[in-house]
């Protein structure tokens, strides 16, 4: 079939299948994603990106041997590919699962990824869980925030602890949760030693009306003031040279800034 396709037709098919494979991954359709990426590789057998996506799909299905083979093929055609290297390191100690794991089933609403001032916050987890637990999660997975004393734990769909929210943010969110607020969270970035999540305020209890879950520091005013330092210096020098009456006029102008 592929021998009868023109180069232009092959590229068009590749784009269509690539878009489909990405959409299937976002929706957690890993079995379908395997088929789609294999279709791409039938036409472009040296495509490292397709091998990476295939490796990811196999990983989510618990088929770690196939995942390792896919990532190894990536390195065959793209030896410096960091995605493949990191995932091969992660997969070294994992055994194939007889059935797909729970992770990837509970996907988050894509709207969670839309940042909204005061309503969303992005943070890196601390005290990460063991490698086998981290290997069973993926970008876009929903995670549960669980209060444990003074700690706020991040857990996957199987209630395995992925890590902890850093203490300062945890303390604030725990107090708000106790007042009745509810929060949703999902994995934004995932690496061997890094899990970054986004947290969104889903519900604000009436008692918390006017309370901001994720306050942002105001630095814009300082930036403006710093940028105007040369102006102020020049103004003072002119005031000293022009005399009392002009000095009064310049003070009025500065106050209006």
Q: CATH classification of 110-208 is 3.90.580.10, yes or no?
A: no
Q: What is the mean pLDDT of the chain?
A: 78
**What is the SS3 assignment for 170?**
helix
Q: CATH classification of 2-91 is 3.60.40.10, yes or no?
A: no
For the ranges 132-146, 166-180, 206-220, the one whose mean pLDDT is highest: 166-180
DSSP code string of 30-97: HHHHHHHHHHHHHH-TT-HHHHHHHHHHHHHTT-HHHHHHHHHHHHHH-TT-HHHHHHHHHHTTPPPP
The whole-model pTM stands at 0.49
Residue 105 pLDDT level (bands cut at 50, 70, 90)? very low
DSSP code string of 198-230: EEEEEE--GGGTT--SB-----HHHHHHHHTHH
Which position has the higher pLDDT, 255 or 57?
57
Residue 98 above 90 pLDDT? no
Which position has the higher pLDDT, 20 or 4?
20
Residue 51 above 90 pLDDT? yes
Residue 89 pLDDT level (bands cut at 50, 70, 90)? confident
Give the tens place of pLDDT for each residue, 145-204: 999 999 999 998 888 999 999 999 999 999 999 999 999 998 877 776 888 898 999 899
Domain ranges of the chain: 2-91, 110-208, 220-255
Residues 53, 55, 56, 57, Cα dihedral to 10°: 90
Which position has the higher pLDDT, 138 or 234?
138
């Amino acid at each position: 079939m592929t021998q009868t396709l023109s180069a232009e037709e092959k590229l068009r098919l590749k784009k269509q299948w690539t878009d489909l494979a990405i959409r299937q991954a976002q929706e957690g359709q890993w079995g379908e994603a395997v088929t789609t990426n294999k279709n791409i590789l039938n036409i472009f057998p040296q495509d490292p990106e397709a091998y990476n996506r295939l490796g990811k799909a196999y990983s989510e299905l618990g088929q770690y041997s196939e995942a390792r083979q896919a990532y190894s093929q990536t390195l065959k055609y793209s030896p410096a590919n960091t995605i493949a290297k990191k995932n091969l390191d992660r997969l070294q100690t994992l055994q194939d699962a007889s059935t797909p794991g729970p992770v990837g089933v509970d996907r988050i609403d894509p709207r969670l990824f839309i940042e909204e001032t005061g309503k969303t916050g992005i943070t890196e987890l601390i005290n990460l869980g063991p490698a086998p637990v981290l290997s069973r999660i993926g970008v876009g997975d929903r995670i549960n925030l669980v209060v444990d004393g003074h700690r706020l734990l991040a857990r996957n769909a199987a209630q395995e602890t992925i890590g902890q929210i850093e203490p300062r943010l945890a303390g604030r969110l725990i107090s708000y949760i106790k007042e009745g607020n509810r929060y949703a969270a999902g994995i934004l970035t995932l690496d061997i030693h890094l899990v970054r999540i986004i947290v969104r305020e889903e519900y604000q209890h009436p008692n918390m009306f006017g309370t901001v879950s994720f306050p942002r520091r105001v630095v814009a005013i300082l930036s403006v003031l710093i940028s105007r330092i040369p102006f102020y210096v020049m103004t003072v020098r002119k005031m000293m040279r022009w005399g009392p009456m002009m000095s009064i006029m310049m003070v009025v102008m500065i106050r209006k800034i």
